[in-house]
Amino acid sequence: MKHVIILLDGMADYPIPDLYGKTPLGYANTPNMDRMFQKGTGGMVKNVPDSLAPGSAVANLSVLGYNPEKYFTGRSPIEAASMGVSLKDTDIAARCNLVTLSDEPVYEDKTLIDYCSDEISTQEAKVLIEALNKEMNMEGMLFYPGISYRRLFVWSNGPSDMLLTPPHDITGKNINNRLPSHPVALEVMKKSHEILKKHPVNMARLEKGLNPANSAWFWGAGKKTVLPNFESKYGKKGAVISAVDLVQGIGVCADMAVIKVEGATGNFHTNYQGKAQACIQALKDGYDFVFVHIEAPDECGHRNEMMNKVRSIELIDEKIIGPVISELEGYDDYKIMALADHPTPLSLRTHTRDAVPFVIYQKGDVGNNQTNFTEETASKTGIFYEKGTLLADAFMK
């Protein structure tokens, strides 16, 4: 049997007055997920335990059947695995966003304007990261390039108890009470600002009317992540398709194949069709399980882009879910599930740990549900999984 999960990152939301009291999912035109819900089963699942901060690392581990309370050691060590950065047991890895800070002369007085510097290009960001490594030349500390604004910072024998704030949680807010608790980490961020604010890449961005990537910002730190082998766990040869290092890193840690798609960006303007075709090819190549992750709804939630969030959900339904189901119909049996990992409400512009809707269709299901797939209709089914790992186990059986 073939198993496919389509993960719409951050899709779940709250009712919005400008959408006639509907959520983006409820407002969007999603005929494929609606048919899955009408013929199959659906409900709600809580992927983020109360003991952990809501985030994609925790939630996606749950969706794939790994208890985050046991296996989550920090977001960045997972991203390091994707980037091919080998961590020692004593290393601390931290996500390093290239952010836009306001112009106040004192660093602590600044406001975080943009957590992703207008989604700076990967090539521009690489140049800036190389400049930081060259000019700062810090023993036991190194920056690594990634995708767009998503970078990595590795600190040999670094502290494991730093308090760090995700930058997307404080967009538009003063940074004074959200700075790293460790003085060395704060000093590195301050030095990065002095280097980056005058860099030619940022001067060129300002001339184009784009936000400059004028500071490093650390968050999501932790130690090396180790996961059990996915195929040994579920008896399925698995593959992961995602544009972001975080989800690719989970695949690497679980010994799954990581399939990269040209033009997949991790934002609204991504290669939806390419991801669908990569999933279809993976099934043809003998993979029994394919996990397709799309970051777009989450990014739209963080940026408060209401209609882009609606449209991203529609594009995933049309260009990924529809073609994948059509391909799956050619197999003797299959299961497909679509769900969010966590909500990223437009009104909050950050993650919450609320339960999210899921829908599962297995070939031959003939349910007679007449409603469309939304947060409200999923909750009314009465089906609720208090842990994402329980849903994963049930789906993979």
State mean pLDDT over 158-171: 92
Q: What percent of the chain has pLDDT over 70?
A: 100
Give the pLDDT score at 51: 96
Q: What percent of the chain has pLDDT over 90?
A: 96
DSSP string, 185-225: HHHHHHHHHHHHTT-HHHHHHHHTTPPP--EEEEEEEEPPP
Reference 231, options 64, 22, 368, 5; nearest CA is: 64
Domain boundaries, the chain: 2-72+226-396, 91-222
Superfamily of the domain at 2-72+226-396: Alkaline Phosphatase, subunit A (3.40.720.10)
Neighbours of 103 (CB within 10 A): 10
pLDDT tens, residue by residue, 194-229 = 999 999 999 999 999 999 999 999 999 999 999 999
Residues 348, 327: Cα–Cα separation, whole Å? 38
**Which amino acid does the sequence have at 305?**
E
The tokens describing 13, both together, are 């939301």
pLDDT bracket for residue 57 (50, 70, 90): very high
Q: Is the pLDDT of residue 100 over 90?
A: yes
pLDDT tens, residue by residue, 15-44 = 999 999 999 999 999 999 999 999 999 999
Give the pLDDT score at 147: 83
Report the predicted TM-score, pTM, of the whole model to 2 decimal places: 0.86
**Which amino acid does the sequence have at 325?**
I
Q: Which residue has the tokens 């404080």?
A: 170
Reference 23, options 392, 387, 378; nearest CA is: 378
Q: Is the pLDDT of residue 288 over 90?
A: yes
Q: Is the pLDDT of residue 304 over 90?
A: yes
The answer to whether the CB of 341 falls within 8 A of the CB of 10 is: yes
Q: Is the pLDDT of residue 392 over 90?
A: yes
Q: Is the pLDDT of residue 160 over 90?
A: no
Q: Is the pLDDT of residue 146 over 90?
A: no
pLDDT bracket for residue 96 (50, 70, 90): very high
The tokens describing 361, both together, are 């269709």
How much is the mean pLDDT over the chain?
Answer: 96
Using only C-alpha atoms, what is the Rg of the chain? 21
| Residue 357, strand partner residues | 44
Reference 141, options 129, 127, 156, 151; nearest CA is: 156
Q: Is the pLDDT of residue 148 over 90?
A: no
Cα 334 to Cα 46, 214, 237, 363, 396: the distances in Å are 24, 48, 14, 6, 11
Q: What is the DSSP letter of 181?
A: S
Give the pLDDT score at 178: 96
Give the pLDDT score at 40: 97
Give the pLDDT score at 161: 86
N- to C-terminal Cα separation, the chain: 10
Q: Is the pLDDT of residue 230 over 90?
A: yes
At how many degrees (to 10) do helices 183-196 and 122-136 cross? 120
The answer to whether the CB of 260 falls within 8 A of the CB of 274 is: no
Residues 59, 81: Cα–Cα separation, whole Å? 18
Residues 20, 367: Cα–Cα separation, whole Å? 29
